[in-house]
Structure 1
Amino acid sequence: MLPWSAELAGRLEEHVVSSELLRGNPLDDPHERPVLVYVPPGYDDEPERRYPSVYAIQGFTGHLEMWRNRMPYRQPFPETADAVFASGEAPPAVVVFVDAWTAHGGSQFVDSPGTGRYHSYICDEVVPWVDARYRTLNAPEHRAISGKSSGGYGAMITPMLRPDLFGALATHAGDALFEYSYMPEFPKCVRHLRRYDGDIWRWWDDFKGRTSFTRPEDMDLLNLLAMALCYSARDDGTPDLPFDPVNGMIRQDVWDRWLAWDPVRMVPGHAEAMRSQRAIWIDGGTRDEWFLDVGAQAFRQALLDAGVREDVIRFELFEAGHGGIDYRYPLALTWLCHAIAP
């Protein structure tokens, strides 16, 4: 296995999408965003053929170029995706790699006054942009979305909110069951914030003025700030924390706003959308540091309780923590492509 590159049987094309929905966003992040589009082997040989599409979204702090990161003895996802198409394991599909990074590490793929309209950006700008330029099958039964961690969260909620666009999903260790995945981090953040007199913006100013992630509190507080911007920002964009940063007491009204975005709790209100899905892949590592394997179990049960057919769901727990599980991506991609193929 070469440590630097591999030749693709298909083709990965680089583009930039100019987003009107992200123009003037609250964090002043770029409104022009890179997009990678993979076309499978044979795409050019049959000019009349149309293909299903899979949208790949990233975890917290992920940006587009990270899809090409190469770890020792492993291949990046564009290459492992290419391999399943080249081998014939998966029916051919167009794979779209989307960027939804923000200055605070991520958007959770939601519309928020604290970050911007990233859900609408994907659904109302990126999807039509791809369909207009590539020979895709423009129907939800032929379009899927897939992601890990925060990307897995986005993959869960996007088809709930837009079943007219997405008819299949794969979530790898996606954020779910927030009382287990988020709340255990709150007391740690209270301790961290003592250094900053309970002011998360003092930490943020400090963080920006030095080399990132050189203090133990950095990832915990970045994650807290980003999630508050996504789930509990006021209309003016100011984020409300779900607990008092000095004494740690839960602010129930704010926490309830977070819980309203929990995929497990969202399912009953979007039961019809979930019943319309052709395929739902759910997995997680049994040693996940944020207990997202437990969240995966809860999400699966919520789907079954909502009347989603068991044969539509592919559920698996496997021995792993939260990191290093990118080898799962081509497995889910293969399964999704069989489900959304014409």
Structure 2
Amino acid sequence: MLGLLWRAVFLLLLLVAPVAARAEGRLVDFEIASRRFDGNQAGVTAIRKAIAYLPDGYEAGRRRYPVVYFLPNLFDDQRAIFDRDGAKAVLDRAIAEGTVPPLILVSADFSTPAGSSFYATSPVTGDWTGFLAQDLVAAVDGRFRTLPRPDSRGLLGDRMGGYGAIRTAMLAPGVFGAVYALHPVGTGVGLQTMNSRPNFERLAAAKSLDDLGDDGFSRVFLGMYQAFLPHPGKPPFHVDFPASGRGASLATDPVLTARLQNAFLLDRLLPAHASELKALRGLMFDWGRFDGNADHVVANRAFAGLLEELGVANEAEEYRGWWGERHWTQGGRVETRALPFFGRALAYEEK
């Protein structure tokens, strides 16, 4: 009888122990007040929201950690990967299983009223490059136990955030040490002209953002124009449009279109900033082969080739995937590709 009792207790402990031993990190919401948005004409608030994932054991010791800064996709805020996609569980599991050493992950809100800042600096929407590379990094280093040096900072971005990660590494050198871009957009021209996407007739007639309704393309491209074709003092949106009309009546302004391409597309920026990317400890990006917008596939293939032409070491991968899939899932690309990459590319020890 006593033997049966001990056997039952032992089995109960086996069932309870894994739950009790499960390591979990903690999420901390915080805000950053930035002067980078003083005088902006798009209605961007100077108080930016952010959230930090702190690994299990953070509170118990004095250890310092590397930081990966996550840059969200269009229309996502700082909490989307946690509230919608389950990023905390992915990070908990990856650290517990040794996929990546313990690290801090920070996600901030980079949205504007039109949808996205495009991670650019503009007199209309503010200095987003400075906010990310200086204000946010300084706030995180001041608030948390980080390893405050470039080789312990990574940039991870999803789609438009992937674009922002590569762009920031080019334009703010010496701040981040490694970049992983998930399915980046804006790496180069595709099969369709950019001017064929927005509804310029609706944009020209609109008096406010409300007039664009649920026209997603027009909203996205308005944000792009505010970032790269700003015209302060030209209401209501303070931009120049690179075309007018629509369909067969589309009339393109070649000067403004070239200005937009040269300011926005990463392949146009790369020749002048290849040395900044060469200085990284690691650069990796990927894209889904079955993206419904073939422009992204064509542009990313060409961008990978251009990096090689300019001698920029990189890992580029085309996988069996599509545009809308979520990457913060069990066995998803963050867990299987991005986190192991940062495990290799970042420095985890104090000097």
| TM, length-normalised to structure 2 | 0.83
Structure 1 counterpart of 2:325: 324
Structure 2 counterpart of 1:228: 225
Q: 1:52 to 1:188 in 2, by over 3 A?
A: closer
Partner Cα separation in structure 2 for residue 80 and residue 156 of structure 1: 24
Alignment partner of 1:68 is 2:68: no
Structure 1 counterpart of 2:196: 187
Structure 2 counterpart of 1:239: 239
- Percent identity between matched residues is 26
Partner Cα separation in structure 2 for residue 224 and residue 286 of structure 1: 24
SS at match of 1:180: coil
Alignment partner of 1:35 is 2:50: yes
Amino acid at match of 1:151: G
- Structure 2 residues without counterparts, runs of 5 or longer: 1-21
Amino acid at match of 1:165: V
Amino acid at match of 2:270: V
SS at match of 1:239: coil
SS at match of 1:234: coil
* Contact 1:200 1:225 (8 Å CA) reproduced: no
RMSD, aligned α-carbons: 2.1
The runs of at least 4 aligned residues of structure 1 exceeding 6 Å deviation read none
Deviation at 1:77, TM superposition (A): 2.0
Deviation at 1:105, TM superposition (A): 0.2
Structure 1 counterpart of 2:125: 115
1:19 to 5, 29, 34: 34
Deviation at 1:119, TM superposition (A): 1.3
Deviation at 1:145, TM superposition (A): 0.6
- Structure 1 residues without counterparts, runs of 5 or longer: 1-6
1:275 to 252, 274, 278: 278
* Contact 1:140 1:163 (8 Å CA) reproduced: no
* Contact 1:92 1:337 (8 Å CA) reproduced: no
Partner Cα separation in structure 2 for residue 14 and residue 145 of structure 1: 19
Structure 2 counterpart of 1:133: 143
Deviation at 1:130, TM superposition (A): 0.5
* Contact 2:189 2:299 (8 Å CA) reproduced: no
Deviation at 1:282, TM superposition (A): 0.8
Q: What are the within-5 Å matches in structure 2 for residues 1-342 of structure 1?
A: 9-47=24-62, 49-70=63-84, 75-180=85-190, 183-189=192-198, 192-194=199-201, 196=202, 199-202=204-207, 204-207=209-212, 212-213=213-214, 218-236=215-233, 238-245=238-245, 247-260=249-262, 261-290=264-293, 291-309=295-313, 313-326=314-327, 327-330=332-335, 331-342=337-348
Amino acid at match of 2:284: W
Aligned residues: 315
Q: Greater CA radius of gyration, 1 or 2?
A: 2
Q: 1:99 to 1:8 in 2, by over 3 A?
A: farther
